Amino acid sequence: MDNARLSAGAKTWFDYWGVNLKDGERRKVKLERMVEAVGDVRISRFRADHFLQYGKNRLDSGIAKSTCNHELMYLKAMFNKLLKAGYISKNPLSAVSPIKIDEYEMAYLTKYQIKRLLVACRQSTNESLFGVVWLCLATGARWSEAEKITFSQVANSTVTFTKTKSGKNRTVPIEEGLYSYLVSRRRFGTQRVFANCLSAFRMAVKRAKLELPDDQMSHVLRHTFSSHFVMNGGDILTLQKILGHSDVKMTMRYSHLSSDHLKDVVRLGPLSYLG
């Protein structure tokens, strides 16, 4: 297949591997767009600088560095699958590294800001908004996980999130008030608890006069749950299970908020031994 064109490689990848992925169709579309932009050259003639020039053009057009890194990952993964299956003799992108991105500070809401947001959500004409925000703040769920829950996922004062980013279901306890609220929303003939309401959330954020990073708009609710959980004494391993992180390194981003962590600065620093 070394002499086949990139488009044929993308099709083979999708037919054998991508079709089984939850986001396979989306990846397929992205691969086809990249092939069109780079040029449908033969795989044997595709070189690292083809992608580097493509990436430069993308960045010059205003695309985020993280988006370029994702596109590199998709293309690399395609070549790796073809290589391991014996279709091609090498991965032309094996030596290409992702763009280094400075770690950004994750925004979270204070108790006062949470109250302002909830008031703004109650004022919304979208009657699903308040419940979705409440569920996110109570469980650390991603927006899409909370917005799309069905009544079958709510039972015995717990919510079970399915079709998660990690691919694994997770069950999180919820308070009785929230459980009763979710159950009370049952309507005959409907499976979903809530309607779509992300645009209503953006409007509520504006009404509450909250300044949030663009790339953390709805995700700020997940960060808020996690940050307050740790600041109130919750441990990282429990938080990992609640959030469904496959790697604890993701959860460790919140460790600096631990009160014990902050106390250790004083207790274990070099000056503590001087008396």
Catalytic status, residue 165:
yes
Catalytic status, residue 70:
no
Q: Are 150 and 186 in contact (CB under 8 A)?
A: no
Pick the catalytic residue from 76, 165, 170, 253: 165
Catalytic status, residue 170:
no
Catalytic status, residue 202:
no
Distances (CA, A) of 149 to 145, 170, 190, 229: 6, 13, 12, 23
Pick the catalytic residue from 142, 148, 223, 228: 142
The DSSP symbol for 161 reads E
Catalytic status, residue 245:
yes
Residue 110 burial by CB count (10 A; 0-12/13-18/19+): exposed, middle or buried? Answer: exposed
Token reading at 110:
């204070």
Pick the catalytic residue from 5, 185, 219, 253: 219
- The closest of 130, 59, 106 to 225, measured between CA atoms, is 106
Torsion over CA of 53, 54, 60 and 65, rounded to 10 degrees?
-110
Token reading at 79:
């070549």
Pick the catalytic residue from 81, 222, 223, 228: 222
Q: Are 219 and 205 in contact (CB under 8 A)?
A: no
Tracing tokens 């988006």 back to the chain, one arrives at 67
Distances (CA, A) of 165 to 46, 143, 190, 246, 259: 32, 12, 25, 10, 30
Coil, helix or strand at residue 173: strand
Token reading at 152:
């079958």
Catalytic status, residue 142:
yes
Residue 17 burial by CB count (10 A; 0-12/13-18/19+): exposed, middle or buried? Answer: middle
What positions carry a catalytic annotation?
A: 142, 165, 219, 222, 245, 254
